[in-house]
Homo-oligomer: A and B are copies of this chain.
Amino acid sequence: MNAEIISVGTELLLGNIVNTDARDLALTLSELGINVFWQTVVGDNRERLTAALGVAAKRADLIITTGGLGPTCDDLTKQTVCAAFGIEMYYDQKAEEDLRAYFRVGKGGQMTENNLQQCWLPVGCTPFYNTCGTAPGCGFTTPEGKSVLILPGPPKEMNAMMAHGGVDFLRTLSDEHILSHNIMTFGMGESRIEDMLRDEMNALQNPTLAPYAKEGEVRLRVTAKAASASQAEAMMAPVIADVKRALGDIVYGIDTPSLEDTVLHLLLERGATFAAAESCTGGLIAKRITDIPGSSAVFRGGVTVYTNDVKLLLGVKPETLEAHSAVSREVAAELAECVRTKLGADYGLGITGVAGPDSDGLHAVGTVFVGLSTARETYVRALNLGERTDRSRVRTLSANHAFDMLRRSILGLPVA
């Protein structure tokens, strides 16, 4: 079974919002083993939505619409879908009761009459009542045998409805399972990885193996299709093992969200902590680790040492700055040591470099030193991230390297 997602909303075409609904639906569908081959975005326009439905009906078995279910005159998804597939509508009493209750409880009793247009649903559908908004959605099968889901646009409502009614409806339609795993790597370029794995990637049909690059990392996606989830898992396991064997310790996780998340869990397991003194990354390491709930258990804190004065305050020696300049292996090492001892952490990170666009007069843009200090040793990785690389990429890659060194140190792998 293959699906097309049709997102309805002029605000998407104007770029006022990002289409997170399509992403969320795609994730859920892939977990259900349903291939999404197409996504279409169309405005609140009857004619063009009808055209989109016509195209989708030719190429997809399952059509899922999001958006256009509200009470205003430009909410026309349900009517348009029903007209396109020749299905009558009926007035759903339960939807009206829900709606009146929703307004009674939450909105001070005021409900305008136009809200009632939301109670019309396709004859013969399975209604999905809305648990956190007003418009109900539904699932049904067209006379031609296409399956259709109609869902609301606001992400919270769409996700809640999909998790309840939508997924149940879809499970009744398919018995194929498609599963994916992401092999997360750091430390080798996409083309080099592809060179190493080309034969395997070309030979594989089911499961498939494909690389994609993201923010200085490369991920390898393994996808299998089978009659059951456990069969799909069994088909993927040897491929994952092969890739891990070929790539070694640059693989930092399977399906882990990020390097920093991996570091967080490694530290949590050991009851260990870290702290960071950041010059060119300017708080990015602190920001990335504290993006994750629960990071306070492993992150003591950080200092953005954006001026030499502040580096001295943290404890870097004036003679080190004098002799080697702020962007140096020696300063990275001292930053790492000082922040570790001063903030009472098990691991200290110290980053100094030239993020650009301008050079500091001594070093090329992209010259970065990342220090890692433990109670026993201090390591420094010297990076040359390239002059064409922009500021944001220099910072992101530097932070990636810092988390990578931390991961490798915790695991006892070679660090610098």
B-contacting residues of A (Cβ < 8 Å)?
10-20, 22-30, 35-45, 48, 51-52, 55, 59, 70-74, 101-102, 105-108, 110-112, 114-115, 131-132, 154, 156, 180, 182, 189-192, 194-195, 198, 201-202, 210-214, 221, 223, 276, 278, 281-287, 289-291, 293, 295-296, 299-307, 309-310, 313, 342-344, 355-358, 366, 384-393, 395
Q: Which residues of B contact A23 (CB under 8 A)?
A: 12, 15, 17-19
Contact B26 A13 (CB under 8 A): yes
Select which of B278, B289, B388, B390 is within 8 A of A282 by beta carbon.
B289
8 pairs from A and B in contact (CB 8 Å cutoff): A12-B23, A39-B39, A40-B41, A105-B387, A110-B189, A293-B391, A296-B306, A302-B303
**CB neighbours of A357 from chain B (8 A):** 293
Whether A301 touches B306, Cβ cut-off 8 Å, given contacts A72-B211, A132-B390, is yes
Sample of 18 more A-B contacts, CB < 8 Å, known A15-B30, A301-B304, A309-B344: A13-B37, A13-B38, A14-B221, A15-B22, A38-B48, A55-B55, A112-B191, A114-B191, A114-B194, A132-B390, A132-B393, A278-B283, A284-B287, A300-B306, A300-B309, A304-B304, A310-B343, A313-B343
Within the complex, which residue of B10, B39, B282, B284 is in contact with A210, where a contact is CB–CB below 8 Å? Answer: B10
Q: Which residues of B contact A302 (CB under 8 A)?
A: 283, 303-304, 306
- A-B pairs with lowest CB-CB distance, top 10: A106-B386, A282-B290, A283-B286, A15-B26, A15-B27, A283-B283, A39-B41, A301-B310, A302-B304, A283-B287
- Cross-chain contact of A112 among B192, B201, B293, B305 (Cβ < 8 A): B192
Q: Identify A305's interface contact among B10, B301, B386, CB under 8 A.
A: B301
Given contacts A18-B18, A306-B296, contact A392 B282 (CB under 8 A): no
Q: Is the CB of B40 within 8 A of A27?
A: no
- B303/A307 in contact, CB under 8 A: no
A30 touches B59 (CB 8 A): no
When A40-B39, A286-B286, A390-B132 are in contact, do A114 and B195 touch as well, CB less than 8 Å?
A: yes
A45 to chain B, nearest CB (A): 8
Does B72 lie within 8 Å of A194, measured CB to CB?
A: yes
Q: Give this chain's copy count.
A: 2
Q: A306 near B299 (CB under 8 angstroms)? A: yes
Given the interface pairs A300-B310, A386-B106, A388-B106, the reply to whether A13 lies near B42 with Cβ below 8 Å is no
Q: Which residues of chain B are within 8 angstroms of A393 by Cβ–Cβ distance?
A: 132, 156
> Smallest Cβ distance from A295 to chain B, in angstroms?
7
Report the nearest B residue to A98, measured CB to CB.
B388
Is the Cβ of B15 less than 8 Å from the Cβ of A18? no
Max count, chain B CB within 10 A of own CB: residue among A29, A43, A284: A284
Could you say which residues of chain B place their CB within 8 Å of the CB of A17?
Answer: 23, 214
- A110 x B282 contact (CB < 8 A): no
B306 and A106 contacting across the interface, CB-CB below 8 Å = no
Task: Give the distance in Å from the alpha carbon of A285 to the alpha carbon of B70 in the complex.
Answer: 29
Contact check, B313 vs A387: say whether CB atoms are below 8 A apart.
no
- Residue of A194, A291, A301 with highest tally of chain B CB at under 10 A: A301
In the complex formed, the residue of B with least CB distance to A191 is: B112
For A213, list chain B residues within 8 Å (CB): 70, 154
User: Chain B contacts of A20 at CB under 8 A?
Assistant: 18
Shortest CB-to-CB span from A287 to chain B, Å, is 4
